[in-house]
């Protein structure tokens, strides 16, 4: 079991350099999976858009499912880093952090090509709760709900868990509305609903 010639490269090659081909694959997959849906996009499309060969593709991602899992993991990682940055920039200002989250959500919802929450969309396509996709989705949602509950606690909300769930509902609902209804009108509704739920008042 020495495996002297496992031909699969990791995130960064044995040399320590990150693989440019792998990055291109992930960039293409992110674009295509999010914009068109996961099942609607074949590996052929990803390979063409990333300008790699089939062999290179399968060396980095032994199966399409591996690419899908990585696609979701990368998105989650980006979101975690963004929130960490916001928290670092506004130490102690929990209300400011919450407002920044809402603002970011609204801005994202207005951006061209917005197609709703990538996790919710992915879960719609994968019904088996044991599929890696669903695990990635559950993990991300648990993280975000936890962050929300933490924020609610810090804001002194009497029932942080309940408030966190309500904020989650508003988040999911706002993203759905921005995708499927008039995306220009969600901002006011989201902000008003958020205030009603949290009991949060601006000065």
Partner DNA sequence: GAACAGGTAGAAGGAACGTTCTATCTGCTA
Partner DNA sequence: TAGCAGATAGAACGTTCCTTCTACCTGTTC
The interface partner of residue 29, options being DNA, a second copy, none and the CB cut-off 5 to 8 Å by kind, is none
Contacts with 195 (C-beta within 8 Å, 6 or more apart), sequence order: 201
The interface partner of residue 197, options being a second copy, DNA, none and the CB cut-off 5 to 8 Å by kind, is a second copy
Q: Which of 28, 29, 60, 137 binds DNA (CB under 7 A)?
A: 60
Using N-to-C axis directions, what is the helix angle for 64-89 and 132-154, rounded to 10°? 10
Q: Which of 9, 27, 37, 93 binds a second copy (CB under 8 A)?
A: 37
The interface partner of residue 189, options being a second copy, DNA, none and the CB cut-off 5 to 8 Å by kind, is a second copy
Burial of 91 (0-12, 13-18, 19+ CB in 10 A): exposed
- Least Cβ distance, residue 166 to DNA (angstroms): 37
- Least Cβ distance, residue 53 to DNA (angstroms): 4
Burial of 27 (0-12, 13-18, 19+ CB in 10 A): middle
Contacts with 13 (C-beta within 8 Å, 6 or more apart), sequence order: 19
Our finding on whether 144 is near a second copy (CB under 8 A) is: no
The interface partner of residue 48, options being a second copy, DNA, none and the CB cut-off 5 to 8 Å by kind, is none
Q: What are phi and psi of 12, to 5 degrees?
A: -115, 140
Q: Which of 36, 44, 159, 184 binds DNA (CB under 7 A)?
A: 44
Our finding on whether 43 is near DNA (CB under 7 A) is: yes
Our finding on whether 53 is near DNA (CB under 7 A) is: yes
**Euclidean distance between the first and the last CA atom of the chain, given in angstroms as a whole number:** 65
- Based on DSSP, count helices (H) and strands (E) in the chain, helices before strands: 9, 0
Among 201, 27, 33, residue whose Cα is nearest residue 119 = 33
Binding site for DNA (CB under 7 A): 5, 7, 9, 13-15, 19-22, 39, 41-45, 51-56, 58-60, 62-65
Binding site for a second copy (CB under 8 A): 35-37, 39-40, 115-116, 119-121, 123-127, 137-138, 141, 145, 162, 165-166, 168-174, 176-177, 179-181, 185-186, 188-190, 192-193, 196-197
């Amino acid at each position: 079991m020495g495996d002297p010639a496992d031909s699969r490269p990791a995130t960064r090659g044995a040399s320590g350099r990150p693989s440019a081909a792998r990055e291109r694959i992930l960039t293409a997959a992110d674009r295509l999976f999010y914009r068109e849906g996961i099942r609607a996009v074949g590996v052929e499309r990803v390979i063409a858009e990333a300008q790699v060969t089939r062999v290179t593709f399968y060396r980095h991602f032994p199966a399409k499912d591996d690419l899908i899992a990585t696609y979701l993991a990368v998105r989650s990682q980006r979101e975690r880093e963004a929130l960490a940055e916001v928290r670092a920039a506004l130490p102690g200002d929990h209300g400011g952090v919450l407002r920044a989250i809402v603002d970011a959500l609204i801005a994202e919802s207005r951006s061209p090509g917005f197609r709703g929450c990538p996790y919710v969309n992915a879960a719609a396509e994968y019904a088996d709760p044991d599929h890696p996709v669903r695990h990635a989705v559950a993990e991300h949602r648990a993280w975000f709900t936890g962050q929300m509950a933490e924020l609610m606690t810090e804001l002194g909300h009497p029932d942080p868990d309940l408030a966190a769930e309500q904020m989650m509902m508003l988040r999911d609902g706002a993203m759905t509305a921005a995708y499927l209804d008039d995306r220009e009108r969600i901002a006011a509704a989201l902000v008003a609903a958020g205030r009603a739920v949290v009991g949060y008042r601006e000065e």
